[in-house]
Copies of this chain bind each other. A is one copy, B any other.
Amino acid sequence: MLKDIENLPRGSRFSRSEILAGLRLNADGLIPAIAQQHDTGEVLMMAWMNEEALNETLATGRVCYFSRSRNRLWRKGESSGQVQQLKGLYIDCDGDTLLLRVDQTGPACHTGRSNCFFLRVDGDEVVITTNPLIDPETLYGGHGASGANAGSPKDPQ
């Protein structure tokens, strides 16, 4: 489907349902979704969506992923309050990756950092490049990512 339209000019329009039906989900029915802050270009995180998460996100304008660790929908910010409002949803040329332009409330990362990509390779070392904006204890009340009941970093945030 996408192969048939890729050489058409800017402004060409298609049925959303037909394009979404052509998405190439993986064997688990999931597709990676990159979240980018819409006004700064900062890449915030990557997570996964199933068809239901994608449809809910488009219907509500609030980003909903699928949590692989909990095997259920994960409405970003449901624990932390740090929600993502959808500004634009893009599909790549071969229909197997989504780009979400979002407006992120507070930090996107469960560590309290602005984004999840805070480890930078530097020669033979890796360096932490940022500090948290908010103590994760504040975000999760001691029951979240850094608290006594800390689970996987994949837990919904």
A20-53 vs B, Cβ < 8 Å mask (1 yes, 0 no): 1000000000001010100011110110000000
Report copies per complex.
2
Given contacts A9-B131, A125-B16, contact A117 B99 (CB under 8 A): yes
Q: State which of B9, B97, B120 has its C-beta within 8 Å of the C-beta of A90.
A: B120
Given contacts A90-B120, A117-B90, A119-B92, contact A14 B46 (CB under 8 A): no
Q: State which of B36, B88, B125, B154 has its C-beta within 8 Å of the C-beta of A94.
A: B154
A149 adjacent to chain B (CB < 8 Å): no
The minimal Cβ–Cβ distance linking A145 to chain B, given in whole angstroms, is: 8
User: Which residues of chain A have a CB within 8 Å of any CB of chain B?
Assistant: 2-3, 5-17, 19-20, 32, 34, 36, 40-43, 45-46, 58, 88-94, 97, 99, 109-111, 113, 116-132, 136, 146, 150, 152-154
